[in-house]
Amino acid sequence: MRNRRILSAIAPLLAAACATAPSYERPSPPETAQGHFVTRSGAFDPAMPVPDDWWRLYDDPALSALVEQALAANTDLRVAEANLAKARAVVQENRAGRLPETDLSGGVTYGDSLPSGATTGDAQFSTTAGAAVSWEVDLFGRISQAIRAAEADAQARQAARDAVRVMVAAETTRSYLDACSLGLARDVAAGSAQTSEEALDLTMTLERAGAAAQLDVERAAALSARARSELPSVEAQRQAALFELAALLGTTPANVPSAARECAVPPELAVSALPVGDAASLLRRRPDLREAERTLAADTARIGVATADLYPRITLGGSGNFLRNDNVQGDDSFSFSLGPLISWSFPNMAVARARLRQAEAQGDAALATFDGAVLTALKEVEQALARVANEEERQRALQEAAERSENAYRMADQRYRAGSLAYLDVLVAQRDLLDARAANAASIQRLGSARVDLFKALGGGWQTPPDQADPAVN
């Protein structure tokens, strides 16, 4: 009868224990976000997945070496690695909650204090020792849910580290391509300055011979000065790209790699169409989405922790004590106790319920964050696809414009030398040529940066080789 009463008393607690841990299911993205991307172009291949080392599509050994160096030495990546190590240590701390706690004590004292039953007050030596062991029974899932939350947090930090790898690979590639494109732009600007300088020399010669007016000389000099003014601006941008590359590599501006400093021709892609995969593979690959999903899992587990705090904590414990002096000896010097201990702080129930509401609100926020991350990922990819497709078309048109401007200027110069064309027409043709050259060089840089933005949005570049893979967080 007594056992039945005990069981009937704890039955509601056992039933409640099953309800403290909320069930977690990975959220599903919208059905419309799992097919092909909206933006279509012959510049993309949706049937091919994004390669892990997408920067090797440029087939440039110098670029590949720089990315590998950045992934090994970047300071932001070192911070992310340290944060991951900290999160894994928190997992170990929470797992240790399943182990019993021990308390040991001991000492030797001298004095005349009288223990119970003593018959003399003479000073004497006393030897004491004590040991206690306690172990929390995880009846309501507080410890197990805390472990799940810590594991999910560690997985989120790992995803955050992977997102930093994506950023480092992309920005290193961008800085290298910018340095090369701006090197090309510098050479184009230098060529334009030389062309305008030669035209100015010719005009001054004709003016001295009486075949040209001073107005023509001033116009040619103004165009020459304008062409020279482009060089400092382009060089400043190039130096900024080189210094940015040095920081990404974890080194000082004085140690800019010579391969980047000497590059003046941006590498071309070795494929005719960029491998982009589809939206479903994007949602599986992007580390920031994995981070948001794991954060949601951790916050869901913390709801279980907060719910478990509404119920008592049951602890099994035992202790042993030893006391020996002149008055206490033999079997009387040792005592022990063993039994379950139940702890339930009624005065803090309001606090516990408030913490539960906080955890539930945090879970709602984490779900909204995940949904927003999915929409942001799709938006970024579609924007990058549109920019690449349109910039490629624009670059082809600017390349044609530069070639035709070159032909127009050559013909205008020949006709002017033959005396069948006014010098103003030559200046117009020359100005069009310089503008077309500069616009084409700038478009080459923008196209390279847009392609990097696309690969960055697609989430490629975080995977590590099998021999360097992280241990699983179980």
| 283-330 pLDDT tens trace | 888 999 999 999 999 999 999 999 988 888 877 777 778 777 767 666
Q: In this model, does residue 152 exceed pLDDT 50?
A: yes
Average pLDDT of the chain? 85
pLDDT of residue 9: 47
The C-alpha atoms of residue 323 and residue 130 are separated, in whole angstroms, by: 9
Nearest to 381 by CA among 446, 445, 443, 456: 456
Select the more confidently predicted residue: 135 or 340.
Answer: 135
Identify whether the C-beta of residue 151 lies closer than 8 Å to the C-beta of residue 217.
no
Per the model's pLDDT, the better-predicted residue between 384 and 207 turns out to be 384
Among 43, 148, 139, 25, CA closest to 94: 148
pLDDT given for residue 332 in this prediction: 61
**CA 65, CA 233: separation in Å to the nearest integer?**
29
Where does 20-110 have alpha helices with state H?
61-73, 75-95
Between 117-126, 186-195, 447-456, the lowest mean confidence (pLDDT) is in 117-126
Across the range 265-278, mean pLDDT stands at 91
CA-angle at 144, arms to 101 and 320, nearest 5°: 15
Residue 128 three-state SS: strand
Confidence class for position 378, pLDDT limits 50, 70, 90: very high
- pTM recorded for the entire structure: 0.83
Place of tokens 């922790």: 305
CB 451 within 8 A of CB 274: yes
pLDDT in tens, 343-366: 565 557 888 889 899 999 999 999
Range with the lowest mean pLDDT among 8-12, 95-99, 212-216? 8-12
- Cα–Cα nearest to 384, from 441, 284, 460, 437: 460
Q: Is the pLDDT reported for residue 14 higher than 60?
A: no
441, pLDDT greater than 70: yes
Residue with tokens 């491998």: 275
Whether residue 24 is predicted with pLDDT greater than 90 in this model: the reply is: no
Which carries the bigger pLDDT value, residue 316 or residue 198?
A: 198
Q: State residue 171's pLDDT score.
A: 96
The DSSP string of 384-451 is HHHHHHHHHHHHHHHHHHHHHHHHHHHHHHHHHHTTSS-HHHHHHHHHHHHHHHHHHHHHHHHHHHHH
Classify domain 29-99+141-311+348-468 by CATH number. Answer: 1.20.1600.10
Report the distance separating Cα 148 and Cα 299, nearest Å: 10
pLDDT recorded at residue 2: 45
**d(Cα 170, Cα 462) in Å, to the nearest integer?**
10
Q: What crossing angle do the helices spanning 142-208 and 287-308 adopt, rounded to 10°? A: 150
